[in-house]
Chain A
Amino acid sequence: MFAQTISLFRYLMLGILSRRLLVLVLVLTVLTMLVGSFFSELAMINGKAIMVALVADFLRYSLGLFALLVITTGVAEDYEFKQFERLLTMPLSRWQYIVAQVLVIASLCLLLVLPVLLVISLYSDWQVGLYWASALWLEIFLLGLLGMLAILSLEKIPLAVCFALAVYLLAKLSGLISQMLAESVRLSDGSLTSRFVDFIFGAILYLVPGLETFAENDVFFGNVDLIEKISVQFSSTVVYALFLIAVCLVDFYRKEFNL
């Protein structure tokens, strides 16, 4: 059973690996470094830290989007080419497909963060580089799982990407949205509608990852306990990843395929 899952993982992994992927990651990295150098020249102080932080954030969002597109495209192709029907005629369980996909996402994220580790370690010290690469791996992994859930449920790439990005941005901008809703409640003298919307948003926040689940860019500007930061991020990512995998399994088992 384990060997079957690994074979499926290898098969799926080969489907997404290509030379173009490598070239694109390299181009992104070089482009990011150029943009970072430009800002570093402009800054009057802390130029190097600003550059590294900018490079790190740019790579975070570009690689996150890139991973999301690769994962959703891979699963969408499985729908399009009736791959699921073919796989399910084999002695394979549905959970094995999900586990293989999770391994694919984990491996893809690992491939994507390797250049990040090199670049950040080169411009900053290796401990910060290691922290950022690990934290970014956790963040992109979570985004990848979100993408997998979205494509399994919605089956269309644009819808799945929009949904995954919406959840991701909702989690990241939750502070701003909460602040706006609180302000709206205040300005409307606590009207029922405002309070209701505020309550609904508060409830939604329980289903999206908290800000502690994401890599912290502030590490580039001062001494922080990197071990503590990564531990907090790791534990919250594990909880949320398990939740997403469970939702994926439920959703995938509910699907009817014409075998």
Chain B
Amino acid sequence: MRRAERPMLQLPAPLIWGFILVLLSQLLFHHFSPAQREFSYQPLAKPLRASTYRGIAMGSEKLLGYLLAIRLQLHDSQAGRYFNYNWIDYPVLVEWLEQITRVNPVSEYPMLLASRVYSQTRDKSRLRLMLEFIERNFDHAPQLHWRRLAEASVIAKHQLEDLKLALQLAEKLALQPASTVMPQWARDIRFLLLAELNELESAIAIIEALLQSNAVTDPDEKRFLEEKLSKFQQELFESRLTIEN
């Protein structure tokens, strides 16, 4: 059975006023408290060394590598709030990605975070750090990371608007030996970028070499290359005509 209660107005006045005062002071304190006002992005702490993480992992290095990557991925979400990537200290972020890669070298996760998650920043210097990380780590396992390098090349072209860097990344991809299995389109990025840089002659030479070497067997791919070849030849012809006139 519920106990009967006295109406609020029958309570002693000092108690009611005292309660209101205490409530107001709590609200004001909460509103103006420095911790609340600046809440409060917790910066990314520096990572430990990969060898330390390997020791802590107690034999589950790969699992720990993935868990560290997930922890890093969730760093922008703190106490239910999402922070812009501009808050993140990118050099420290790169250190984290490097250490996670060393803890689990056969994981794509750190490269994926770099190319898909942390590349979503408008700050070009930070973006460049991500692309450098991808380029650096691609060399360790080209077969595992060719997708990330292809993405990096596209990011360099469209987000960073640095065609030279995009071409440098695409060339790295295109010059991989045949033992690195990847679809032809990944290698094709190079001549598409060359054409954008108005280096039509180089692009044409690459396509002709590809077609003559019989490296391309897929009919759709062959047709795509032939179309591009005739388009670039036409563009080159027109540009020469313009120069002569």
Cβ of B52: which chain A residues have Cβ within 8 Å of it?
A: 176, 179
Return the chain A residue nearest B117 by Cβ. A44
Return the chain A residue nearest B55 by Cβ. A176
Asked if B219 is an interface residue, CB under 8 A from chain A, the answer is: no
Asked if B61 is an interface residue, CB under 8 A from chain A, the answer is: yes
Asked if B73 is an interface residue, CB under 8 A from chain A, the answer is: yes
Return the chain B residue nearest A222 by Cβ. B106
Q: Give the contact stretch, choosing among A108-116, A210-218, A234-242.
A: A210-218
Cβ of A21: which chain B residues have Cβ within 8 Å of it?
A: none
Which of B55, B66, B108 is A50 in contact with, Cβ under 8 Å? B66
Tell me how far the C-beta of B31 lies from the nearest C-beta in chain A, rounded to whole angstroms: 34
Asked if A148 is an interface residue, CB under 8 A from chain B, the answer is: no
Mostly, the A contact residues are: helix
Binary interface profile of A, 152-168, with partner B (CB < 8 Å = 1, else 0)? 00000000000000000
Residues from 142 to 200 in A contacting B, C-beta threshold 8 Å: 172-173, 175-177, 179
Asked if B74 is an interface residue, CB under 8 A from chain A, the answer is: yes
A176 to B52, CA, bound (A): 6
Q: How many residues on the A side are at the interface (Cβ–Cβ under 8 A)?
A: 25
Q: Is the CB of A218 within 8 A of B62?
A: yes
Return the chain B residue nearest A60 by Cβ. B60
Q: Is the CB of A172 within 8 A of B63?
A: no
Tell me how far the C-beta of A224 lies from the nearest C-beta in chain B, rounded to whole angstroms: 11
Binary interface profile of A, 214-258, with partner B (CB < 8 Å = 1, else 0)? 111110111000000000000000000000000000000000000
Known: A45-B108, A45-B109. A50 touches B63 (CB 8 A): yes
Asked if B21 is an interface residue, CB under 8 A from chain A, the answer is: no
Cβ of B113: which chain A residues have Cβ within 8 Å of it?
A: 44
Cβ of A215: which chain B residues have Cβ within 8 Å of it?
A: 59
Asked if B181 is an interface residue, CB under 8 A from chain A, the answer is: no
Return the chain B residue nearest A215 by Cβ. B59
Return the chain B residue nearest A216 by Cβ. B59
Tell me how far the C-beta of A217 lies from the nearest C-beta in chain B, rounded to whole angstroms: 4
Q: Is the CB of B112 within 8 A of A44?
A: yes
A173 to B52, CA, bound (A): 10
A221 to B108, CA, bound (A): 12
Binary interface profile of A, 79-122, with partner B (CB < 8 Å = 1, else 0)? 00000000000000000000000000000000000000000000
Q: Is the CB of A221 within 8 A of B73?
A: no
Q: Is the CB of B63 within 8 A of A217?
A: yes
Known: A39-B70, A45-B109, A221-B106. A57 touches B55 (CB 8 A): no
Q: Which residues of B contact A (CB under 8 A)?
A: 51-52, 54-56, 58-63, 66-67, 70, 73-74, 104, 106-109, 112-113, 116-117
20 residue pairs of the A-B complex, CB under 8 angstroms, read A42-B74, A43-B70, A44-B73, A44-B109, A44-B117, A46-B109, A53-B60, A53-B66, A54-B67, A57-B60, A173-B56, A175-B54, A176-B54, A179-B51, A179-B55, A211-B59, A217-B59, A220-B62, A221-B63, A222-B62
With A50-B66, A172-B58 already in contact, 13 other A-B pairs whose C-beta atoms are closer than 8 Å: A43-B70, A44-B73, A44-B113, A46-B66, A50-B63, A53-B66, A54-B67, A172-B59, A179-B51, A211-B59, A218-B61, A221-B63, A221-B107
